[in-house]
Structure 1
Amino acid sequence: MSLKTDSSASVKNFRKIYCLLSDLTKIVNSAYGLYSLLEVTCSFVNIVALFYTITVLLLQLNGMSSTSLNNCVILLQWTVMLVCRFFSIAYSSDVVVEEANRTQRLVTKLQLLPLSAGCRCQEELQLFGEQLVRSTIHYSAAGLFTLDLSLLKGIVAAVTTYLVILVQFKLSEKDK
């Protein structure tokens, strides 16, 4: 088998592998989409509630006992655990998508290389590039939002907004 045929066969095998991996990500996405939605939603609600409780405890700092301070530390540990759980979901999804994008960039670069005439490798690379464009990989929470690192910005903004609103209500309640 010549080098030209071997390269062409290798690219064809990569196309098959990518097709299998793409199908696998779709299966994982459909199987765990609802679970991801519930996990992200519960983590979000718990993070807001825990940050609010910690903030209220810290606002009452002048009358805080050592027990309250210990409770605040425990709540902070739970909050960190929930943030880490949420981050791991977003990060793992983002890594898979970035690797697929990296594959697409590499195939595009390989298409730009000059190859000898009669080499079927260029045709296989062209087909692989088209396959990559048609079958983009992404993870979502039951189709409602994409799971990636950009979601973290939205979550931080939403937690901050809710925290400010809840603290304002608590302070206005205290003034009455």
Structure 2
Amino acid sequence: MKHFCWIISMPPNKVKPSLIQRQHIGLNPFLRHTPISNPIFRDMQITLCVLKATGLLPIYEEVSKYEVGPPTKPNIFYSFFIRGIVQALTLFNLYNLLTPGSAQLFYSYSDTDNVNKWIEFLLCMLAHSATVTICGRNSKLFLKIINEILKVDEDVFDRFGTTLENKCGFSLKYIVGICVCQWYLMILRVLAVKDTLNVNSYVFIFIYAIQNGMATIFIVFTAALLRILKMRFAHINVTLKGYTYSHHRKLRRFVGRDRDIVTMDTFPDDSLFIYRMHNKLLRIYRSINDCCSLILVAYMGYAFYTITTTTYNLFVQITTQRLSFNVLQTCFVWLAMHTCVLALLSKSCGQATDEANGTSQVLARVHGVTKEHQNIVDKFLTKSIKQEVQFTAYGFFVIDNSTLFKIFSAVTTYLVILIQFKQLEDSKMDDDSS
């Protein structure tokens, strides 16, 4: 009686992949041959440079190909100095906002519009200050996250002889887009003020743009980290699919029937490696959530209010006779920037969460040929039931693919309230004039 054999895509030991395995690696979209150079975050190199230059990330030292070390004392002092400068500029902006001279920054047509803009300024300062403070407090934890990701990639390289892709090159495009938007918004705000701006107002507008940019770029960095985790969870799931019957049939057609095959005897060793790797990635996932939770609460609150007030300004422009092309441009730029960043964050969180929780679903389709194999699957599934993860904003709400829809649903509700305040204000003005 012949043993039932399955073709899989993983070598049982740290050896050079065979012909069949090399062919299967070509089919795996999450693997490619080892690049000549590291670092692992080569696709987001510019993002890391910007965050380190602004003090949001420590200026770490590269110890080896798969490890980064703590920053030197001069770099630590530089990060403290930059964080102190940006926080001082935030206090300066808050002072300017509370002085009578800030009235020239509010060019709206009603008190309701001016109050909304004033709250928006305050929320931006809060989001920026929270980002700077929490990043400074969690600088060691960020280094730990980077090292753990590098360690996962080192383990994959030792076992496969290849390195995982990151696919986070989008971060550079978003940074360029954010910088262009901020410069354009600065120009529009200066042109919108009819009176001559004083020096403090120019400084306020410039610092406000920096605050927006820094807070938004950090959200892009968070999305990039989640995309990196998504690729590694996806690699685990693709590897496990090599043990399913449907994938076995596809590989069998690919390599032919007369080729050498690897049996399910390798499953215990491979499943142990996958189990350890999955636990490491779950720890990294939770660490990122712990580092960014409060930042996400502050930024998403600010982004929600900005989208709401911007939509309200569009409504006012459309329904009144005082149509301003400058205001319309400002509204469309704000909506485009915040909507794109929130959509990126929601998509990255949703994909990473789906892949993390999808491992147990893939494993459930693995058919154990022997009782030993089935016991391994059962133990993994039993523990996976208790390890279902969610990416949350400090536990207030879950961030996933549906978050953007929920935000716009809340925007619609709050927009109705603002319109009612606007109508009450207009009716009061009509009564006073009559």
**TM-score range, shorter-chain basis?**
0.7 to 0.9
Match of 2:384 in 1: 132
CA contact (8 A) 1:50 1:79 kept: yes
**TM-score, normalised via structure 1 length:** 0.87
Whole-Å separation in 1 of the counterparts to 2:349 and 2:322: 44
Correspondent of 1:39 among 299, 303, 309: 299
> Offset of 1:153 from its aligned partner?
2.7
Identity of aligned residues (%): 24
Whole-Å separation in 2 of the counterparts to 1:145 and 1:175: 38
Match of 1:155 in 2: 407
Structure 2: stretches of 5+ with no match in the other structure:
1-11, 13-261, 429-434
> Offset of 1:143 from its aligned partner?
1.3
Greater C-alpha radius of gyration? 2
Match of 2:267 in 1: 7
> Offset of 1:161 from its aligned partner?
0.9
Given residue 81 of structure 1, which amino acid in structure 2 is its aligned partner?
M
**1:26 equivalent in alignment to 2:282:** no
Q: Deviations over 1:68-116 (max 9, x none)?
A: 1232122112112111111111111111111123222111111xx251x
Equivalent residue of 1:78, what SS? helix
**1:141 equivalent in alignment to 2:397:** no
CA contact (8 A) 1:94 1:147 kept: yes
**After the TM superposition, which segments of 4 or more aligned residues of structure 1 sit over 4 Å from their partners?**
none
Equivalent residue of 1:143, what SS? coil
CA contact (8 A) 2:368 2:374 kept: no
Whole-Å separation in 1 of the counterparts to 2:326 and 2:363: 55
Whole-Å separation in 2 of the counterparts to 1:156 and 1:169: 20
**TM-score, normalised via structure 2 length:** 0.37
Q: 1:49 to 1:80 in 2, by over 3 A?
A: same
Whole-Å separation in 1 of the counterparts to 2:314 and 2:322: 14
Match of 1:103 in 2: 359
Correspondent of 1:93 among 346, 349, 352: 349
Given residue 146 of structure 1, which amino acid in structure 2 is its aligned partner?
V
Structure 1: stretches of 5+ with no match in the other structure:
none
> Offset of 1:31 from its aligned partner?
0.8
Given residue 95 of structure 1, which amino acid in structure 2 is its aligned partner?
Q
Given residue 290 of structure 2, which amino acid in structure 1 is its aligned partner?
S
Whole-Å separation in 2 of the counterparts to 1:132 and 1:83: 34
**1:168 equivalent in alignment to 2:420:** yes
Higher mean C-alpha displacement, 121-130 vs 157-166: 121-130
CA contact (8 A) 1:108 1:129 kept: yes
CA contact (8 A) 1:11 1:121 kept: no
Aligned pairs, number? 168
Equivalent residue of 2:365, what SS? helix
Larger RCO: 1 or 2 (CA < 8 Å, sep 6+): 1
Correspondent of 2:314 among 48, 54, 58: 54
Given residue 17 of structure 1, which amino acid in structure 2 is its aligned partner?
M
Whole-Å separation in 1 of the counterparts to 2:417 and 2:322: 24
Match of 2:116 in 1: none
Whole-Å separation in 2 of the counterparts to 1:114 and 1:131: 18
Given residue 379 of structure 2, which amino acid in structure 1 is its aligned partner?
L
Whole-Å separation in 1 of the counterparts to 2:305 and 2:340: 15
Given residue 147 of structure 1, which amino acid in structure 2 is its aligned partner?
I
Equivalent residue of 1:73, what SS? helix
Equivalent residue of 1:159, what SS? helix
RMSD: 1.8
> Offset of 1:163 from its aligned partner?
0.8
Whole-Å separation in 1 of the counterparts to 2:322 and 2:263: 79
Whole-Å separation in 2 of the counterparts to 1:4 and 1:161: 56
